[in-house]
Amino acid sequence: MRKVNQTIIKKSDLINNISTKCQHLDERLVDESVREILGLMGNVLCHDGRIEVRGFGSFCLHHRQARKARNPKTGDIVEVGAKAVPYFKPGKALRELVNNQ
């Protein structure tokens, strides 16, 4: 298996990068803005909504039905409840950017 170099950007890194590039904005304002945007996105998804950012992608929920599964350790059959899983579908511009790198 090939190991890929990864760059991990945490929320604090995102806030610092935005404040550095937009020096006229106070870092506390950028922090509040980023937290508010992420909170709004989470709230929309909690209410089964869809978020679409043109050129970047869209976020929605995929609903999984309840099912029976097997515990690999004991072999017992267990019930797995229905659940919603957040899903991201990249937009065309993002796919092209990633594939052309």
Residue ranges of domains in the chain:
8-47, 49-101
Segment (H or E) for 45: helix 27-46
- Token pair, residue 17, equals 């990068």
Q: Answer yes or no: pTM beyond 0.85.
A: no
Using only C-alpha atoms, the chain has a radius of gyration, in whole angstroms, of 19
Q: φ, ψ for residue 54 (rounded to 5)?
A: -55, 135
Using one digit for the tens of pLDDT, what is the confidence trace for 65-78? 999 999 999 999 99
Mean pLDDT across the stretch 19-41?
A: 93
- CATH number listed for the domain at residues 49-101: 4.10.520.10
Q: In this predicted structure, what is the pLDDT of residue 1?
A: 54
Please tell me the distance from the alpha carbon of residue 91 to that of residue 58, in angstroms, as a whole number.
Answer: 7
